[in-house]
Amino acid sequence: MDRRRSMRRSGRRYRRPWLKKCKEYMRNFIAFLFSNVGIIGLVIGYTIAGSFMIQALERGKPIPVQSQAMGNRTLFAKKLWNLTMELNANVKLQEKEYRAAVDIKLVEFQKIFVNLTRRGYDGSDDANGFKSWSFAGAFLYCLTVITTIGYGNIWAHTPQGKIASIVYAIIGMPLFLLYLSNIGDVMAKSFKWIYANFCLCRWCPGVAKRRAERRIQRDQQMEDNDSNQNTDSSSGSTNVSIKMANMNSRPSVVSEGPTLFSDESYDVESVNVPITVCLMIMVGYICGGAILFFRWEFDSGWTFLDASYFCFISLSTIGFGDFVPGDKIYGQVEFDEILELKFVFCSMYLMLGMALIAMCFNLMQEEVINKIRNSIRTVKYIFRCR
């Protein structure tokens, strides 16, 4: 009796920690997945999986538009033949007449053909979509789906592909939003730290001390001025002036408080990155991207304005798709590797850029909220004063 009980007890003792450990591991793992590094991996993994899926669904399937375009072309060749025969039968073939007749026919041909192009024909005879659904292309496609950019330079043609991309988008968009908020937060924090330590030169020996001294001096001066002005202007009601002085000193204390007392133990959280810096970062990123794409796509006739327009349209997730890097006519492209590299780089640029913009918005929001709070306080004070 005694023995059995002890055995059970020992068993329980051994099982419980193991379970707990397992649970702990699981929790850690999930927390890691949804935290900083994990979410990047999750998004990239999701995109890669999606590109494999869409490749499997779309590659090698006949694209109806492509075959339609080819059929259309042979039909027109036939029509031209008939026309030539007709003209030849009547009189001796005259160049002018013939040209006019062919021109009319060609306009007709062009109209049908443009309609086909809008529905996805890309000028190549590749009826199975092997070229357009290379891995890098599929990757870019998946990224444009989950970031809701949607260039529309390539899209799913088969019904299965369409359904798959709908489902993919519905699952992927929240994931990407999660990525943005998470990475934006982390980047904002780290940027704040960098800004606090390097740009404000907290680590340089003399600067911080001098700055603090200067600030104290300035504050004292301001207070003196205020009190002087108040006593001058409202000599009758001393009551009001005291209130004014109190109120004036209060916000300054609030804003300068942490910097006054802590030269060494400086609080990073209290640093506010000014809006101009955020804007500069965004403009710089867009300009950098523009220069890069301008260099790359010089052959296909992009101007600098076009490149910066592309960067802006992409990063604001509008995504018209009139300019896409590596999006020439597929029949003419011979260096497929360069094309792939461009696609990959474009997707990298997008992912990093959107995170950066999320970071900037994070910082700007903080700053704006701070400013609004300050201004509300002053407005309230002014009204109360009257």
Partner 1 sequence: MEISNERRGRSISRGRTPTRYGYTPPRAQRRHRETVKECCKKIITFMCTQVGVGALLIGYTVIGALVFTHLEKRGKNIESSEVETYRNATVKKLFQVVMKHNILNREGFKVDANKVLKLHQSHVTQIFKHGYDERTVDEIWTFPAALMFCLSIITMVGYGNMVPKTNEGKILTMVYAIFGLPLYILYFKNMGTIFAGCFKWIYRRIYECSTEKEGNRKKIIVPSTACLWVIFAYILTGAIMFSEWEHWDFLDSTYFCITSLCKIGFGDLVPGADVNASNHGNQTKIVINFLYMLLGLGLIAMCYNLMREETRVKLNEMNEDFNQCLEDTKIRFMACCRKHKQNNRQYEGY
Scanning residues 276 to 335, which ones bind partner 1 (CB under 8 A)?
305-306, 309, 312-313, 316-322, 327-329, 331-332
Q: Does residue 211 touch partner 1 according to CB under 8 A?
A: no
Total number of residues that touch partner 1 (CB under 8 A): 72
> Which tokens belong to 115?
């309609």
Which of 131/162 has CB closer to partner 1? 162
Cα-Cα-Cα-Cα torsion 287, 289, 291, 296, nearest 10 degrees, comes to -160
Choose one: 39-47, 121-129, 260-268, 336-344; the region binding partner 1 (CB under 8 A). Answer: 121-129
Q: Would you count residue 152 as binding partner 1 (CB under 8 A)?
A: yes
Contact 133, 54 (CB under 8 A): yes
Q: Does 381 bind partner 1 (CB under 8 A)?
A: no
231 binds partner 1 per the rule CB under 8 A: no
Q: Which amino acid is located at 41 in the chain?
A: G
Which listed residue (22, 163, 201, 253) binds partner 1 by CB under 8 A? 163
From candidates 181, 220, 221, 237, binder to partner 1 by CB under 8 A: 237
Residues 166-185 that bind partner 1 (CB under 8 A): 166, 169-170, 173
Q: Is 149 in the site for partner 1 (CB under 8 A)?
A: yes
Strand boundaries in the chain, DSSP class E: none
| Contact between residue 276 and residue 371 where contact means Cβ atoms under 8 Å apart | no
Q: Which residues contact 248 (CB under 8 A, 6 or more apart)?
A: 222, 223, 226
Q: Is 68 in the site for partner 1 (CB under 8 A)?
A: no
Separation CA 235–CA 1 (nearest Å): 96
114 binds partner 1, rule: CB under 8 A: yes
Q: CA 124 to CA 127: how far, in whole Å?
A: 8
232 lies in the binding site for partner 1 (CB under 8 A): no
Instruction: Give yes or no for residue 144 binding partner 1 (CB under 8 A).
Output: yes
- Closer residue to partner 1 (CB): 111 or 214: 111
Q: SS3 of 85, please? A: helix
Q: Which stretch binds partner 1 (CB under 8 A): 35-43, 110-118, 219-227, 374-382?
A: 110-118
31 part of the interface to partner 1, by CB under 8 A: no
- CA 72 to each of CA 189, 222, 298, 332: distance values in angstroms, whole numbers, following the listed order: 59, 82, 34, 21
Q: Exposed, middle or buried by CB within 10 Å (0-12, 13-18, 19+), for 137?
A: buried
